[in-house]
Amino acid sequence: MNQTISIGRLEECDYIVYDPLNRVSRKHALLIKEGNKLFIQDLGSVNGTFIDGRQIKPNMKVPITFHNKITLSKDYELDFQKIRFKNLEFENDPNSPSKDDQTILLNNSSVQLNAGGKTIIFDRNHAKLEDLAKHDVNEYKTLGRASTCDFQLEHSIVSKQHLKIRLLTPVIFEIEDLNSTNGTFVDGEKLQANKRYQFSSSAQIRIGTNLVLDLKKYFPELVVLEKRQEPALQKAQVLPAPGAEATSEELKQFKDLEAVWKEYNNRLNQATTKATGYGIGGAVLGLAASAFTGGIAGILLMSGGGILGRYLGQKESNKIRGDLTFEDAFLEVYACPRCKESFQKKPWITIRDCFKCKTKFR
C-alpha cells in the first residue's frame, strides 16, 4: 500500500517540525512509501533537502534507505526511521517507537510527540508557547446558559455559548470568546471573538460589565500566582555607585537564584522520557502537558513555583506572549536583582558581581 507523509512547519503536515532556527519550510518535503521502497521528495523548500550531504532537486522523488542521512537544509537531521505511516512502523526498524509511546526525548533538547495521528518535533527549550498550545490535548470547557455547556451559568448577560476555557498548566489558562453578546473581558481588556488568548492564573475574567468569574470554582487544580511587587524608585533616590555592595534584600533575591540555576541545569542534564523533562516549569503543556511545564499533565508547579511561576509572578501583565519559550523565561528570571541584566547561562556559584551595574553579591 502506498502512503505519503508530509513534513514541514504547518499544522496540516503529518510530521510537524518546530525548528527554532526556521531551517524547515512550511511545506518542506514528502516521505513516500511504495511497497517496501522509500522515497523523499523536496517540495521547493527554501533551504533544500539533502541526502548524505548532497542536495536533491525539488519536486523529484528520490529513493532512500535506512543507511542514508537525510537533512532538511544542510544541518537539520531528519530522523525518518521514527516517522510512522498511518500508525504503522517501518519494517525491520529496531528504533521504531511502539504504539504505546506518546512522547520521546530524542536528546536533551528535542522532543518527539505522537498525538492525534500526527508527529510533532520541538525543542523543549526554544519551542513557542503558541505552537505547543495548538497541539495540547487538554480539553476545553464551555461556559454559558445552555444546558449543553460544561459549566452552566444562568445569568441574563451570559450567552448560550459564551466562552471556552482550559488549563494549559496549573498556572496558565487559555480562553476564547465564542462571539458572545456582551463580551468576555480579562483584566479589563475585551477579548476578540473566536481568538485564543493565554493568561497567567492571576488574571481576572469578567463577563459583560460586572459578572466576575471565580476560576478556582471551575478548575480546583488552578494555582493562583502571587504577583511580586517591585519597590518603586523615588525620583530623588540616589542609586548606589558602581561596585557598591548589594543590599540585604538584593542579597536575598540573589540567593533565590541558586534554585533557578539548579532547575535549569537539572533540566539540561535530564535525559529522560518522563513528562517532567519537557516543561517550562517542570510539566509540558498537556500535549504537551509535558513541554512547557511537565506533561502539561500531571505536575503541579510546587504552588506555582519554578522558573515559569517566577517569570509570570514578576510580570505586570497577566497576558502571556505567544512566542514565550522556556529559555526566554529562564534568561529573564536569572538576572541581577538591581539592574535586571540577565546573568545568561553563567553558573550561579561563579557569579560574584553584575558585569553591567557592578553590584557585588559575594
Q: What is the pLDDT of residues 72-83, one digit of tens each?
A: 999 999 988 777
Least confident window among 170-179, 222-231, 276-285, 295-304: 295-304
Output the average pLDDT for the chain.
Answer: 82
Beta bridge partner(s), residue 182: none
Q: What is the mean pLDDT of residues 257-270?
A: 84
Residue 298 has pLDDT above 70, yes or no: no
Residue 157 burial (CB count, 10 A): 16
Backbone angles phi, psi at 249, to 5 degrees: -70, -40
Residue 304 has pLDDT above 50, yes or no: no
8 A C-beta contact, residue 39 and residue 63: yes
Give me the half-sphere count of Cα atoms (radius 13 Å) on the Cβ side of residue 139.
3
Grid cell 523615588 is found at 234
Q: 114-151, pLDDT tens digit by residue?
A: 776 788 888 878 888 888 888 777 889 999 999 999 99
What's the pLDDT score for residue 153?
96
- Higher-confidence residue of 279 and 177: namely 177
The pTM assigned to this predicted structure is: 0.80
